[in-house]
């Protein structure tokens, strides 16, 4: 997961692993663009502190990724429903961060990694179709 704030500062972290609706573990590599609401910045710093990213932003993102993933099958998130998943994550984040002085600009799903067994099966299927 990467968090990019309005100053362009990039903070990288490990991918977030979560269960899909069909109980497969998916690893998401995500970037979230956000910024502090200028009218609430003083409140954020005084009430939450300078580490507001670790206190409220990062946990909200992880929770949104996990909660949204339970609504989708793994194959859908990796292909046709990727945009719908991204929109759901964005909606959850907007709700969770509402009134906390954080404005979410965009959620970018950069990569979705399926379990190794699924990756191997996909590779075998592609290989078989190419050989045929």
What does the alpha-carbon distance between residue 34 and residue 59 come to, in Å, rounded to a whole number?
A: 14
Each residue's pLDDT tens digit, 45-59: 999 999 999 999 999
Each residue's pLDDT tens digit, 24-78: 899 999 999 999 999 999 999 999 999 999 999 999 999 999 999 999 998 888 8
Dihedral of CA atoms 93, 35, 79, 26 in degrees, nearest 10, equals -60
For the chain, the structural domain boundaries read 2-131
Mean pLDDT of 109-130: 79
Q: Kindly report whether the global pTM for this prediction surpasses the value 0.85.
A: no
**Cross-strand partners of 104:** 34
Each residue's pLDDT tens digit, 84-107: 999 999 999 999 999 999 999 999
Fold for 2-131, please state it.
Tetrahydropterin Synthase; Chain A (3.30.479)
Q: How far is CA 38 from the centre of its chain?
A: 24
């Amino acid at each position: 997961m990467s968090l990019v704030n309005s100053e362009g500062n990039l903070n990288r972290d490990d991918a977030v692993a979560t269960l899909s609706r069909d109980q497969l573990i998916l690893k998401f590599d995500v970037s979230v663009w956000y910024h502090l609401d200028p009218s609430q910045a003083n409140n954020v710093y005084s009430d939450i502190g300078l580490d507001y990213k670790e206190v409220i932003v990062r946990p909200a993102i992880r929770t949104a990724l996990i909660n949204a993933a339970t609504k989708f099958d793994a194959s859908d998130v990796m292909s046709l429903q990727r945009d719908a998943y991204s929109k759901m994550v964005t909606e959850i984040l907007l709700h969770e961060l509402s009134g906390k002085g954080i404005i979410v600009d965009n959620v970018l799903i950069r990569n979705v990694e399926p379990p190794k067994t699924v990756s191997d099966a996909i590779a075998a299927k592609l290989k078989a179709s190419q050989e045929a």
